[in-house]
Amino acid sequence: MATVLVQQPPRRSLRLLTAADLAALPSELPSGPVKYELDNGRLLIMSPPGETHGSVQATVAHLLKVHGQKKGHGKAMAEVTVILRRRPDRVVGPDAAFVMKRSLPTRTSRENYLETIPELVVEVRSKNDTLSELRSKAQDYLQAGVQIIWVIDPAAKTVTVFRSGESPQILREDDTLTAKGVIPGFKVPVAELFSE
């Protein structure tokens, strides 16, 4: 059998994707559901969350709804797509978010992605997330104008709180989680996030 050499075309610069490109991608593959983010126009494929991740996400979204939205302080959301910036596009999907009353009504893009920057976002660490990736993502959130980021680590049972101009603070199960400046009166024991 003869070997055929195929001339490779010259490498061109990689085309950066936009929020519109992201919206056109399938949400289902033959292997199951899939989620994406854009990191400055580069496609990131997110692994599906596990049971523990889903449980913590549901708990925190419920707490934001009860202590924030139902008390008239703003709007709580779970698993929302947010455009942090354009050209190149940075599109993220925090596990939960809270938009203060002063920022309502929210603005959305043609793709129905949130363009209003939430004052609080929550990321629940999945098994494939590295701490350095989550720290970098928290910095992106801060640069976009998010006031508070909670990075919840179910395995370590900790919450790392990022605030603009402050060093990250690690809270453990016996500490109390607050949302000072965003949700008045929000005080929840960290242990409550991990209770079954």
pLDDT (tens digit per residue) in 67-78: 999 999 999 999
Phi, then psi, of 119 in degrees rounded to 5: -80, -25
Weakest-pLDDT range from 29-38, 67-76, 86-95: 29-38
Burial class (CB in 10 A: 0-12, 13-18, 19+), 136: exposed
CA distance 153 to 155: 6
- End-to-end, the C-alpha distance of the chain in Å comes to 62
* Domain covering 49-193 assigned CATH 3.30.2350.10 in the classification: no
Rounded mean pLDDT of 158-183? 96
Sign of torsion over alpha carbons 148, 184, 152, 120: negative
Contact yes or no for 21/86 (Cβ under 8 A): no
Is pLDDT at 11 greater than 60 in this prediction? no
Amino acid symbol at 57: Q
Report the chain's mean pLDDT, rounded to a whole number: 90
Q: What percent of the chain has pLDDT over 90?
A: 71
pLDDT band at residue 45, thresholds of 50, 70 and 90? confident
Rounded Cα distance, 178 and 158, in Å = 14
Token pair listed for 97: 């978010």
